[in-house]
Amino acid sequence: MIKYLAYCRKSTDDKHKQVLSIQQQLNELKDFSQKENLDVVDYFTESKTAKLPGRQIFNQIIQLIEAGKIQGIISWHPDRLARNSIDGGKIIYLLDTCQLQSLKFPTFWFENTPQGRFMLSMAFSQAKYYVDNLSENVKRGYREKLKRGVLPNKAPHGYFNHPLKRTIEVNLKTAPTIKTAFKLFSSGQYSNESIRKFLYAKGIKNKTSGLLHPDIVKRLLTNPFYYGLIQFGGETYPGSHKPLISKSLFEKCQNILNKKYQPKNKHAHQFAFLGLAKCADCGSAITAEKHIKFYKRAGRHVRYDYYHCGRNHGKCTQPFMPAEDLKEQIRKIIFKYSLHPKNANWMLKRLEKDELTEKQTAESQAKNLKVEAETISRKLERLLDSYLDQIVDRNDYQQMKDKFLNQKLNLEEKIATIQTKGSAWIEPMRNFLKGLIYQQKIAKAKNNDHDLAVMVKKLGSNFFLSDRRLNFSLNFPWTALVPTGDGARAGLPVPKLWQG
């Protein structure tokens, strides 16, 4: 009597197309074996696609047949056994050599005859054709979406897949958090781990409501989708979705990612100005330490902080500097290169007049840039035609395509900047003048060591400490305030620098 093995399979990648689940197949095969009076030794189940060879359970059944322990297989349909030519060929060969004597299917007639094996091979071929055609249809669908500028995958954080429009739209709840994450990271003050914790605190979590994996955070920060491009299948496509960030902000984040992240000193939170300056004599970093003094009469401990040369390059004669003295110097520096609100407000009014003039020329500038963008679009079309006509090979096509897409994106970004701001310099200048007002407020405030440290680092660079005096190089655009000197501290008549 022929011994049978029952084999049930359900593909993991076509669950919406599957006729029966594994449990339903098992029930059908048990009823079928009882009806046909078949000797079923065991039931095997497998959840894996058959479009490629290498199924573990299926291979075990083949080995049992080759060993002579099993002579027959029952299954729901031939496509459960094979959807590729190798596995289908194995079944046909075992039938030809009589190692496999019988195949039984509730939904397919088969007898081990030349005609039966021919019909079985046709069923295997049809199953393979279904898989091949399905794959081609999926690829065709991907290509069509990419042509429309739609990502064919799940939308990244900050976006969602619109079920009706079949587009990717901005998620109004999470998009502001993603934009803030890019801005924070671009400041250079936050690591990947800090961004990861920030996203978690704002409600962006993994499937198990935990922190996102570090690799996911890194992919998020390196995904050009957020500034308007789609990367798919090794190629770059222009997206039709709304960008969350600018290309310049994205590139700034990439520059930071490419550098080795150096963790901050663990004592930085105790000493606000740690890491600000170096010793002018030996070049060692300025370090800090605290001293606690007990006053018997008052009955309390008082802390005193001091900054001094780290002496990493041998002996150094530079003296210790009290933290209060260093803080006072920093306050004076910030105050010196600020503007009184009266002077800054006068400049803001002049800026409004300049903005009106700039807007008159903005339309013509935008028009010229649009002409350039249209020219690049035509170049992309001709490049695609050359590639389809096999005039240009794939590598050259991809390089030129990426080049044109980046050029077009830069032009579109410039057009958007001109249309929204009138001119690229107006808004930064306005922010700078408002910052000068805020800068004076910081210099006058108390107990704001962290704000002072952040502001003085923006204002200057190359800080050196020599004989308890802080020297530095003034950054642009604060260099424009040098002629005003100390006069900026008061609401005097507008300095000559701003007149005319």
Q: What is the pLDDT of residue 354?
A: 81
17 has a pLDDT exceeding 50:
no
**In this structure, are 379 and 490 located in the same domain?**
yes
Q: 126 lies in a domain?
A: yes
Work out the average pLDDT over 149-170. Answer: 90
Q: 77 lies in a domain?
A: yes
Q: 199 lies in a domain?
A: yes
Over pLDDT 70: what percentage of the chain?
91
Q: Across the beta sheet with 321-322, what order do the strands follow?
A: 286-295, 300-309, 321-322
Residue with the bigger pLDDT between 203 and 358: it is 203
Torsions phi, psi of 466, nearest 5?
Answer: -140, 120
**In this structure, are 75 and 183 located in the same domain?**
no
Q: 62 lies in a domain?
A: yes
Work out the average pLDDT over 137-165. Answer: 85
**In this structure, are 129 and 218 located in the same domain?**
no
Q: What is the pLDDT of residue 405?
A: 87
Q: What is the pLDDT of residue 269?
A: 54
- State how many domains the chain has: 3
Residue 123: give its domain's CATH number.
3.40.50.1390
Per-residue burial over 39-75, b if 16 or more Cβ lie within 10 Å, else e, is ebeebbebebbbbebebeebeebbebbeeeebbbbbb
The amino acid present at 273, given as its one-letter code, is: F
Q: 463 lies in a domain?
A: yes
Q: Which residues pair with 307 in a beta bridge?
A: 288, 321
Work out the average pLDDT over 142-159. Answer: 87
Q: Which residues pair with 294 in a beta bridge?
A: 301
**In this structure, are 175 and 88 located in the same domain?**
no
Q: What is the pLDDT of residue 420?
A: 66
Residue appearing with tokens 């200048």: 429
**Containing structural domain, residue 183:** 159-258
Residue with the bigger pLDDT between 428 and 222: it is 222
Q: Is residue 464 classed as helix, strand or coil in its secondary structure?
A: strand
**Are 246 and 252 spatial neighbours (Cβ–Cβ below 8 Å)?**
no
If pLDDT is split at 50, 70 and 90, which confidence band does 424 have? low
Token output for 385: 């035609």
**In this structure, are 170 and 249 located in the same domain?**
yes
**In this structure, are 7 and 129 located in the same domain?**
yes
Q: 148 lies in a domain?
A: no
**In this structure, are 25 and 169 located in the same domain?**
no
Q: Which of 236, 258, 280 is the last residue of a domain?
A: 258
If pLDDT is split at 50, 70 and 90, which confidence band does 236 have? confident
DSSP run (H or E) holding 238: strand 235-238
Q: Is residue 143 classed as helix, strand or coil in its secondary structure?
A: helix
Give the pairing type, strands 278-279 and 460-466.
Answer: parallel
Mean pLDDT, the chain, integer: 84
Q: What is the pLDDT of residue 440?
A: 86
Q: Which of 234, 258, 282 is the last residue of a domain?
A: 258
DSSP 78: H
Q: 181 lies in a domain?
A: yes
**In this structure, are 336 and 439 located in the same domain?**
yes
**In this structure, are 203 and 235 located in the same domain?**
yes
Residue 203: give its domain's CATH number.
3.90.1750.20
The DSSP string of 413-448 is: HHHHHHHHHSSTTHHHHHHHHHHHHHHHHHHH-SS-
495 has a pLDDT exceeding 50:
no
Residues 29-71 have pLDDT tens digits of 999 999 999 999 999 999 888 888 989 999 999 999 999 999 9
**In this structure, are 102 and 133 located in the same domain?**
yes
Q: Which of 258, 276, 304 is the last residue of a domain?
A: 258
Count of CB atoms situated within 10 Å of the CB of 291? 10
Q: Is residue 387 classed as helix, strand or coil in its secondary structure?
A: helix
Q: 307 lies in a domain?
A: no
**Are 317 and 468 spatial neighbours (Cβ–Cβ below 8 Å)?**
no
413 has a pLDDT exceeding 90:
no
**In this structure, are 51 and 125 located in the same domain?**
yes
Residues 317-343 have pLDDT tens digits of 889 999 899 999 999 999 988 888 888
Work out the average pLDDT over 180-189. Answer: 89
**In this structure, are 235 and 114 located in the same domain?**
no
Residues 297-318 have pLDDT tens digits of 888 888 889 999 988 887 888 8
How much is the pTM? 0.41
382 has a pLDDT exceeding 60:
yes
